[in-house]
A and B are shown apart, each in its own frame.
Chain A
Amino acid sequence: MARPRGFTLVEMLVVMTVSGVLMSLAVTSLVMLLRLDGTARQRGRATDTLANLARQFRADAHEARSAVADNRAFSGEARSLALGLPDGRTVVYEAAAQRVVRREERGLAAPREDWFPLPAACHAALDLHPGHGAEMAELTIDSPAPAGLSLRIEAAVARDHRLAGPREKAKE
């Protein structure tokens, strides 16, 4: 006698269980992959931003003729740092929540603002302290996470002018 074509209930159950397990495995690993990739991307972007910020901060500090730190926070940490550049420009760095803002003012022209977003939960602080021979502007970025980002950028204020030869000094 020929067997009727089709699947038995048991066969169906087995196939469904096995494929269910396989699919859940695939989905969880895919989600994990995507999450890992997302954090890696974020970290890469943050690194680029911070590299740009460091370069800009050093350049501004070196070029500045004067620097003033503004202690508005309760903790005594400076929240902003004003750098007086030659040719009347003023550059103000502000440590806000989740970002560092650089504002460049030149006379009556509209100020130019650059935002440097920080990685999640990071905290920025600005400081100005006398170094050994040159005043140092300092920007620190800290993350509360144990394996988080932590960076310190220290730049000598007015370095360009101390190194400038007599020709450039006479010109100004």
Chain B
Amino acid sequence: MSRRGTTLVELVASCVLLGALLTVCLWLVQASVSERRATQERLVALQEAQNVLEDLYGRPWNDLGPDVAGRAQLSEQAKRVLPDGRVEAQIDGPQEGRKDVAAKRIAVSVRWRPSAARPELSVRLVAWKYAQHPPPTTNN
């Protein structure tokens, strides 16, 4: 004889369904949260790379070399935001045998690891600095 009402099986099934839905929702929100966090880390890394690049770029031509590049380091602010973060600067050139344009290439990359399970991320900026401006055409 069948009686109307909910059986235990139906109850369990509804619980399972609800649980599955909630899990999916939670997972999606979690993904979006970590994505926004990653965006913020990227912003900080990019600004940090730009800071280092501005510092190097503003230096006199003769100072630009591997030793100056080796001294580049992350600011306290960036260290706090970027887990396992570090900055690498590289200065190459000028190219041998090119007398017409003497340029040094400044490359700055900031690397960090969002979490142990995820791959390392990095941003990289490159600029060229030229030895001198065209000779000034002054009247005095």
Contacts and interface: CB of A to CB of B under 8 A. Distances in A.
Interface of A: 7, 11, 15, 18, 22, 25-26, 29, 32-33, 36-37, 39-40, 43-44, 46-47, 50-51, 54, 58, 131-134, 136, 140-142, 149-156, 159, 163, 165-166, 169-170
Interface string B12-56: 000100100010011001101100110110011001101100110
A22 B54 contact: no
A25 B21 CA distance: 13
A116 B15 CA distance: 46
Given A152-B47, A166-B134, A170-B137, A134 B33 contact: no
- Looking at chain A's contact residues, the main secondary structure is helix
Interface stretch (B74-82, B93-101, B105-113, B118-126): B74-82
Interface in B51-101: 51, 54-55, 57-60, 63, 75-78, 80-81
Given A44-B36, A131-B58, A166-B136, 6 more contacts: A37-B29, A37-B32, A43-B36, A133-B58, A149-B40, A153-B47
Interface residues on B, range: 35 or more
A134 B58 contact: yes
A165 B134 contact: yes
28 contacts: A22-B18, A25-B18, A29-B22, A29-B25, A33-B26, A36-B29, A36-B30, A36-B33, A40-B36, A47-B40, A54-B47, A131-B55, A131-B58, A132-B55, A132-B59, A133-B59, A134-B54, A134-B58, A136-B58, A141-B77, A149-B81, A150-B76, A151-B81, A154-B51, A166-B133, A166-B135, A169-B136, A170-B137
Given A133-B60, A142-B77, A156-B58, A151 B47 contact: yes
A156 B54 contact: yes
B11 interface: yes
Contacts of A22: 15, 18
B74 to A, nearest CB: 10
Contacts of A131: 55, 58
A136 B135 CA distance: 26
